[in-house]
């Protein structure tokens, strides 16, 4: 039975979206071409060289960041990806995640700094973040599709929105958690707020901020699979295809590649957060 009274929230959203796409068509096109360009460039960088060259580079990064165990593990597990014929898909996904993460970090860290510096900003940003994190991720795909058409771009945009929240939250938390007396000492010796941010707050909040960035990457990876639904390709594309055909084998092969990428990215970025003690001599 149709209810007699209904708030037409959905209609309003659609009208708003129509107006947005109609008015800012040029802007969306520009954004679209920037993202397509960035994605194609990065993807070419990852897929053009022979796979073994890329594996060596990644193993070296893992070795340098964490140790020989992760280096060797990276080499073996990436070889496995090649073995199940998911290499190109994995590199597509990595390019997608990288771009989404970079953009999300570039937006979220300054937002976090702003939220930490002002209680009012914090009280505005907080509910927005709650909204972004709890709205079912696939819902973002719909307006993104309308605005940017099928392809990688709606996937990247939806990923950015979905993955941004922990970046903002951890940055705010990290900066607010810096010993108040140390910040006070900065002021007491006549430092400007920007100097205190650069020399005291950000360095001391770094482990927390890095944990946030790590979370951004993990969320990006999980979203990227969903982005496969709108033609973002990569591992997500294969997983969606496997789902449609109920092909457990293909689904598992693509799935294990996602897991391998996730573990690699997580361990490498986590070790950046921890290495603050060796990093401090560089800052000095």
Contact between 203 and another protein by CB under 8 A: the answer reads yes
Structural Rg of the chain based on CA atoms = 21
25 or 184, CB closer to another protein?
Answer: 184
Give the shortest CB-207-to-another protein separation in angstroms.
11
Give the shortest CB-108-to-another protein separation in angstroms.
23
Residues 241-280 contacting another protein, CB under 8 A = 276, 280
Q: Kindly tell me the sign of the dihedral angle through the C-alpha atoms of 238, 244, 250, 254.
A: positive
Residues 204-243 contacting another protein, CB under 8 A = 204
Contact partners, residue 241, CB within 8 Å, separation at least 6:
247, 250
32 or 206, CB closer to another protein?
Answer: 206
Give the shortest CB-196-to-another protein separation in angstroms.
10
CA angle 20, 234, 214 (to 5 degrees): 80
Give the shortest CB-273-to-another protein separation in angstroms.
14
Q: Kindly tell me the sign of the dihedral angle through the C-alpha atoms of 115, 121, 127, 129.
A: negative
Burial of 191-228, coded b for 16+ CB within 10 Å and e otherwise, reads: beeeebbeebbbbbbbbbbbbbbbbbbbbbbbbbbbbb
Give the shortest CB-204-to-another protein separation in angstroms.
7
5 or 189, CB closer to another protein?
Answer: 189
Tokens of 241: 């295809």
Residues 135-194 contacting another protein, CB under 8 A = 179, 181-182, 184-185, 187-192
Give the shortest CB-178-to-another protein separation in angstroms.
10
103-142 mask for another protein (x: CB under 8 A)? ----------------------------------------
Cα 167–chain centre separation: 9
128 or 182, CB closer to another protein?
Answer: 182
DSSP states of 202-216 as a string? Answer: HHHHHHHHHHHHHHH
Contacts by 41-50, CB closer than 8 A, 24 or more apart: 42/95, 42/98, 42/99, 43/91, 43/92, 43/95, 46/91, 46/94, 46/95, 47/88, 47/91, 47/92
Binding part of the chain for another protein, among 78-86, 103-111, 198-206, 208-216 by CB under 8 A, reads 198-206
81 or 200, CB closer to another protein?
Answer: 200
174 or 233, CB closer to another protein?
Answer: 174
155 or 186, CB closer to another protein?
Answer: 186
DSSP states of 116-152 as a string? Answer: HH-HHHHHHHHHHHHHHHHS-HHHHHHHHHHHH-SSH
Give the shortest CB-194-to-another protein separation in angstroms.
12
- Interface residue list for another protein (CB under 8 A): 179, 181-182, 184-185, 187-192, 195, 199-200, 203-204, 276, 280, 283-284
């Amino acid at each position: 039975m149709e209810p007699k009274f209904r708030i037409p929230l959905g209609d309003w959203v659609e009208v708003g979206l129509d107006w947005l796409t109609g008015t800012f068509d040029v802007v969306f096109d520009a954004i679209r071409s920037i993202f397509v360009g960035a994605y194609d460039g990065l993807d070419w960088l990852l897929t053009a060289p022979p796979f073994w060259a890329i594996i060596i580079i990644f193993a070296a990064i893992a070795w340098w960041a964490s140790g020989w165990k992760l280096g060797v593990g990276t080499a073996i597990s990436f070889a496995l990806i090649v073995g199940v014929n998911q290499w190109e898909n994995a590199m597509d996904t990595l390019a997608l995640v990288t771009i989404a993460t970079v953009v999300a970090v570039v937006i979220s860290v300054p937002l976090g700094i702003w939220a930490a510096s002002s209680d009012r900003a914090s009280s505005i940003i907080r509910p927005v973040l709650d909204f972004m994190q709890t709205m079912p991720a696939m819902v973002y795909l719909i307006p993104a599709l309308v605005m940017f058409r099928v392809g990688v771009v709606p996937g990247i945009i939806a990923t950015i929105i979905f993955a941004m929240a922990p970046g903002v939250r951890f940055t705010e938390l990290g900066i607010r958690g810096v010993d108040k007396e140390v910040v006070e000492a900065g002021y007491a010796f006549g430092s400007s707020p920007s100097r205190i941010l650069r020399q005291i707050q950000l360095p001391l909040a770094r482990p927390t901020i890095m944990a946030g960035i790590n979370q951004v990457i993990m969320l990006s990876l999980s979203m990227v699979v969903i982005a496969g639904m709108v033609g973002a390709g990569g591992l997500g594309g294969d997983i969606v295809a496997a789902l449609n055909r109920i092909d457990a084998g293909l689904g598992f092969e693509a799935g294990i590649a996602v897991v391998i990428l996730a573990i690699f990215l997580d361990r490498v970025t986590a070790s950046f957060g921890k290495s603050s003690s060796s990093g401090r001599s560089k800052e000095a």
